[in-house]
Amino acid sequence: MNDQERTWIPYIGPYDPCPPIRVKTYVVPPNQYIVFQPLDLPQFSLQEALRYGTLWPALFSPYESKNLRRGGRTL
């Protein structure tokens, strides 16, 4: 499990017409924890930065598709 991913348990009403989702998740972006840019922050190489979408490893947040996580297919 990703350390940036949080879970919560929503209220499930007795007359809810849809099948309940018992545990929901959300991602907290890493930039929420960095108030200002510190000096000498480590950097990716140019090729890695283009692959990861950011120059700084501290701001990298991997995306994992929920469809792939459950074994489903995506188009």
Q: Note the pLDDT of residue 30.
A: 84
What's the CA angle centered on 52, arms 49 and 56, to 5 degrees?
55
Q: Note the pLDDT of residue 61.
A: 86
How many whole angstroms separate alpha carbon 23 and alpha carbon 30?
A: 22
pLDDT one-digit tens code per residue, 5-56: 899 999 999 998 999 999 998 888 888 888 888 888 999 999 999 999 999 9
Q: Note the pLDDT of residue 35.
A: 80
Q: Note the pLDDT of residue 69.
A: 60
Q: Note the pLDDT of residue 12.
A: 92
* pLDDT of 70 above 80: no
